[in-house]
Structure 1
Amino acid sequence: MANILDKIIANKRREVEAADKLLGPEVAITTDRETVSLRNALLDSPTGIIAEFKRRSPSKGEIHPLALVNEVVPAYEDAGASACSILTDTVYFGGALTDLANARAHSSLPLLRKDFIVSRRQIAEARAFGADAVLLIAAALTLREVKDFTTYAHSLGLEVLFEIHNATELDKYVPEVDLVGVNNRDLTTFHTDPLLSEKVAKELPSDVVKVAESGLTSMAEVEQLRASGFSGFLIGETFMRHDHPGEALRRFIDGTL
């Protein structure tokens, strides 16, 4: 029986194939905007928080279905986010590439295109719509794809956040990636263990920029992970379930959330 991740990836491949047939395999990149380094932003930030914009998820259902990027992302920036992650998957997360473009128009922060990348097409779309980095998920890709997509992303000026869930997925790690994320959420079951990042950190190369993803609910957890060598902390639902996600981020940072 297919797990949730298998279903998402199968649907994503169908979407990419349909786009290739309808629009052609090449994505026009007309922007000459200089990208902003996600890696440097995290290393230089006092919080390291990548605040995520998403409306729903397969595990939680509707989170903030009517959220507007042009309101949430600037509020995140004002509240002290180091970067923003924009969910662009429509079927499972309620996002769109237009959300990414809208975020770019309203923020100077580094933007991560958060999606299930299975094709060079999606990487080119990320560049065209305003991203500075893309997510490559080990569980969804082969080692060959990780290498190819990383090289292609770099050729477009994009950085790569390589995501794993456990140490065994490090067999797909390539040193050319810019950051390594540990997802505390198992994408096959969507079970979340907020302490997983700390456990897996011991297996990561010592010199990589580490990002903890999912399930973080307090600055105490962030500081504990920072002490374990993490520089970035990708947090979405903790903020997005509030009416005003930017204010939730502000309260998260000052410890009053």
Structure 2
Amino acid sequence: MTTILDKIIAEKENEIQRLKALTFQQSFEPEKKPSLFELLKGANQLQIISEIKRASPSKGIINNGVNPVEQALQYEKAGAACISVLTDTPFFKGSFEDLKEVTQVVQIPVLCKDFIIDEIQIDYAKANGASVILLIVAALSKERLSSLYQYASEQDLEILVEVHDEQELQKALELNAKIIGINNRNLKTFEVDLQHTAAIAKHFPFHENRVLISESGIQSLDDANFVSDLGASAILVGEMLMRSGDIKTTLQSLKVQKGVDVK
């Protein structure tokens, strides 16, 4: 049975061929952004990675008319730790142009959110100003995960490694990943359950120099408190903020005190 993730990866293969056919050019010199890891490690409150997401395979159109620059500036002003920009076009209606526009106007870290399976995507992420990229364990072989992680590190990019179960967490730890995200969304069915964070957090080495991010499915203050108590340093929030009529109030309501350190 073909899953949503299978369909996305198949489309990525086509996109990579198109990117490689283009003449790659660095169109501007991005400013150096602060370290997301250091920011999350030093914070006393749960931090918010605020996402610009026009659409998704599970929700359809969320906010197709969003102005990425205005949205990003509102996120930054409201106290976001980082801005996540979807750059996938077929499934999420994003683009590298969105990424470029956002990175040129904000001072905080910017995550290129995409299904990265080839070095050329990392080149485009960096060229358009990203300071952080996403690598999804479920989308990559162990060998490709390792080589892409090393390549991004050599480009002076921070890497958010996304996992969905304990086995994938072990792969992330073997990479010595410092920023690890637990996606509460099953990428095969796109169903969401915060218990993913609860289950995986039990095995997370909080005593080591790493931070945990809970991604997807955060809809309320209770949700924020729930994952914070499990040891999360940050949450990645997209749909809730994209639909919000008051971004500042919504975002700040989620910045709860960090839970007791898990040892």
> How far apart are the structure 2 equivalents of 1:91 and 1:100?
16
CA apart distance, 1:250: 3.8
Q: Residue by residue, what CA displacement relative to the aligned partner does 1:97-122 show, whole Å, maximum 9, x if unpaired?
A: 01111111121111110000010111
> How far apart are the structure 1 equivalents of 2:188 and 2:235?
21
Q: What secondary structure does 2:193 align onto?
A: coil
CA apart distance, 1:40: 1.3
Does structure 2 conserve the Cα–Cα contact (< 8 Å) formed by 1:48 and 1:233?
yes
Does structure 1 conserve the Cα–Cα contact (< 8 Å) formed by 2:99 and 2:130?
yes
TM-score (norm 1): 0.91
Q: Residue by residue, what CA displacement relative to the aligned partner does 1:52-79 show, whole Å, maximum 9, x if unpaired?
A: 1100000000000000111111101111
CA apart distance, 1:253: 4.6
> How far apart are the structure 1 equivalents of 2:213 and 2:120?
25
Q: What secondary structure does 2:234 align onto?
A: strand
Q: What secondary structure does 2:88 align onto?
A: coil
Does structure 2 conserve the Cα–Cα contact (< 8 Å) formed by 1:27 and 1:121?
no
CA apart distance, 1:229: 1.5
Structure 2 portions without partners, runs of 5+? 257-263
**% of aligned pairs identical?**
37
Does structure 2 conserve the Cα–Cα contact (< 8 Å) formed by 1:47 and 1:82?
no
Number of aligned positions between the proteins: 252
> How far apart are the structure 2 equivalents of 1:236 and 1:27?
30
Residue in structure 2 matched with residue 91 of structure 1 by the alignment: 90
Residue in structure 1 matched with residue 220 of structure 2 by the alignment: 218
CA apart distance, 1:244: 4.9
Residue in structure 2 matched with residue 143 of structure 1 by the alignment: 142
> How far apart are the structure 2 equivalents of 1:235 and 1:32?
25
- How well do the aligned residues superpose, as a CA RMSD in angstroms? 1.9
CA apart distance, 1:220: 2.8
TM-score (norm 2): 0.89
Residue in structure 2 matched with residue 38 of structure 1 by the alignment: 36
Residue in structure 1 matched with residue 57 of structure 2 by the alignment: 58
CA apart distance, 1:37: 1.0
Residue in structure 2 matched with residue 209 of structure 1 by the alignment: 211
> How far apart are the structure 2 equivalents of 1:48 and 1:250?
9
Structure 1 portions without partners, runs of 5+? none
- Report the more deviating stretch, 47-56 or 169-178: 169-178
Q: Which amino acid aligns with 1:111?
A: V
Q: Residue by residue, what CA displacement relative to the aligned partner does 1:8-67 show, whole Å, maximum 9, x if unpaired?
A: 0010111001221233xx664862632421111222333311011100000000000000
Q: Which amino acid aligns with 1:9?
A: I
